Every structure is written in C-alpha cells, then in structure tokens.
Amino acid sequence: MKPWGAIPAPQFNLRLTLESGQVFHWVPEGDGYCGLIGERPVRVEQVGQELRVTPGTEEAVARYFALDHDLEAICASFPADPTMAQAAAFCSGLRLIRQPLWECVATFLTSSMKQVAHIRQMSHALRQRFGRSIPGWGVAVYPEPERLARATEAELRGCGLGYRAKHLLGTARSIAEGAVDLEALRALDDAEALAELCRLPGVGPKIANCALLFGYERLRAFPIDVWIERVLRRSYFARKRKVTAGQLREFAANAFGPYGGYAQQYLFHHARSQPRAGGGVKTSATRRAP
C-alpha cells in the first residue's frame, strides 16, 4: 500500500501556486511541501499531473487548491491583449487557493508594506507563539481571533509585526466580540462585504479585496497594489498622463470580467517575477542577473 493518497491534478502547478504570494506558511520539504489546511497537517507533492498527499486529505487538498476551477474557461474570459496573454502563459497552472477566512484576513492584514520573506516570518512567529502546535509537525495552527484578542500589543510586536500589531489586535478583538462576523459576510454581495471588511482596523480596500478573492472566492475581486498599478498604467494607460486611482479601479472592475481576480493574480505574479522590474526584487523565485 502506498504511503500517500493520489489526486489527479491536470492544469495545476503546485510550486507556482504556493509561491505566488497567496499563502505564507508552507515549508518546502524534499520535492514537496509541508503545511496545514486549516487545522489539518498536510504534505503534498506534485509528480506530473498527480498530487501525492497525506492519506485521508485528498478531498481537503482538492478543495483548498481549487482543482475544480475551470482554468480553460477562466483564461478564455480574459481580455485578449499581449500583456494578459504573456501573464497567463507564465502562470499556467496557477490556481487561486480557497483559504480559511480568519487566517486569510489576518495574514493579509500583516502583509501590508512587507515583503514575502517577512510575511512568512510573521506568520510562523504568530503560529508558534499563539497557535496550537501539532506534535511532530513543523507548522502550528493559525491562532484564533479569541486567542490573539487576549494578547498584548507588545507580544504581537514580539512576533515582528511592528505597527501592524495594533491593527491585528484591534481586528482580532472586533471579531472575537462579534462586531464583525466573517462567516456572515458570505451572504453579502461583493461591495457590501468589502465595506464590512474595511471596518476592521488595518484593513483597507487592498487587503479587503485580497480577503474577498482568497477567502470568499469572489473571483471578480481585483486587489490593486503598486505592482498591479504599474502594470495597468504601463500596459493599459500608456498614452494617458494623469490616471487617478478611481479610474484604475473602474477600469479593472470592467475590463477583466467575471474572473478578474485570476487576471489580477496572473498579472501580479508575472510582474513580480520579472528581474528588477521597477527596482525591487521581491519573490523568492527571482534572481539577479550575474
């Protein structure tokens, strides 16, 4: 009997998906990754068009990595332009992960102004310090809002959060005391859910859209950060001088269709993987030219 469960995974690229800035707690191990899906420890490795996973986690893994998303239909819905085509080709097999809500909101809250390496460090520090640890497993469960609500700002700063400590504490308390109910937001439309998320301290339009996209599976959500802003200005507003944030938002909402979030993720990851584009090199996959 095989020591793993097998899942067919056509049109899927595990490495690309896990290293595209969606989640920050998976640890490379051998030719695969160890991590958690919610509270469940999982090891996953891709061999060709098959995933080999911890036995019993097949269903959770398939759902987490959204293997049911129809990538062909999604890519076919994108606007037909060279920028989009290049990004889609570069990101072939990249899927949007279905993340647990609280973990998603909290992690993206801490991501503001931070590079991937540091977001990863903060995530692991918070997990180790406040989360339930699993014997024999290198990654601990992300701490519940109730647990973080009992922490002090100084303790959170001790996890490397800096000024984000205050925001995470405030947000954890809002949720722990029921001022905002993340589960209940599932019933709202995109705009209403966005507004509710923005009530949380440290959560603005960018992070709220990340939560909509990665947590609530609102595949139209289009988070705009400076990387995406550069792509949009360069590729879609090349002739215009003054383009306001509002114009960019409006354009993004209309031009990329029902799967705009996928388009955004592909444009984002492609842009960040270009060597020295815009000065900062951020992803672990990028390397400087010799």
Distance CA 139, CA 233 (A): 39
Closer residue to DNA, CB minimum distance, 51 or 271: 271
Interacting stretch for DNA, rule CB under 7 A, among 17-25, 49-57, 221-229, 233-241?
221-229
Residue 42 phi/psi, 5-degree rounding, is -140, 135
Distance CA 212, CA 186 (A): 9
Shortest separation between residue 49's beta carbon and DNA, angstroms: 33
Interacting stretch for DNA, rule CB under 7 A, among 54-62, 78-86, 133-141, 273-281?
273-281
How far, in Å, are 23, 27, 29, 45, 148 from residue 35 at the CA level? Answer: 10, 6, 10, 11, 21
When asked if residue 126 is in the footprint of DNA (CB under 7 A), the reply is no
Interacting stretch for DNA, rule CB under 7 A, among 127-135, 144-152, 182-190, 205-213?
205-213
Q: Which letter, b or e, does each residue of 206-237 get, where b requires 16 or more Cβ atoms within 10 Å of its Cβ?
A: bbbbbbbbbbbbbbbbbbbbebbeebbeebbe
Distance CA 248, CA 226 (A): 11
Closer residue to DNA, CB minimum distance, 61 or 182: 182
DSSP string over 206-238: HHHHHHHHHTS--TT-----HHHHHHHHHHHSS
Question: Could you say which DSSP state residue 55 is in?
Answer: T
When asked if residue 129 is in the footprint of DNA (CB under 7 A), the reply is no
Q: Which string of x and - marks every residue 150-189 that binds DNA (by CB under 7 A)?
A: -------x--x-xx---x----------------------
Q: Which of 203, 231, 252, 267 binds DNA (CB under 7 A)?
A: 203
Q: Which of 3, 246, 254, 290 binds DNA (CB under 7 A)?
A: 246
When asked if residue 244 is in the footprint of DNA (CB under 7 A), the reply is yes
Residue 271 near residue 227, CB atoms below 8 Å: yes
Closer residue to DNA, CB minimum distance, 15 or 118: 118
When asked if residue 226 is in the footprint of DNA (CB under 7 A), the reply is yes
Shortest separation between residue 275's beta carbon and DNA, angstroms: 10
Structure tokens at 112: 């503001």
Residue 270 carries which side chain, given as an amino acid letter? H
When asked if residue 83 is in the footprint of DNA (CB under 7 A), the reply is no
Beta sheet of 32-37, edge-to-edge order: 5-8, 50-53, 40-47, 32-37, 27-29
When asked if residue 283 is in the footprint of DNA (CB under 7 A), the reply is no
Residues that bind DNA (CB under 7 A): 112-115, 117-118, 121, 157, 160, 162-163, 167, 198, 200-208, 225-227, 244, 246, 278-282, 288
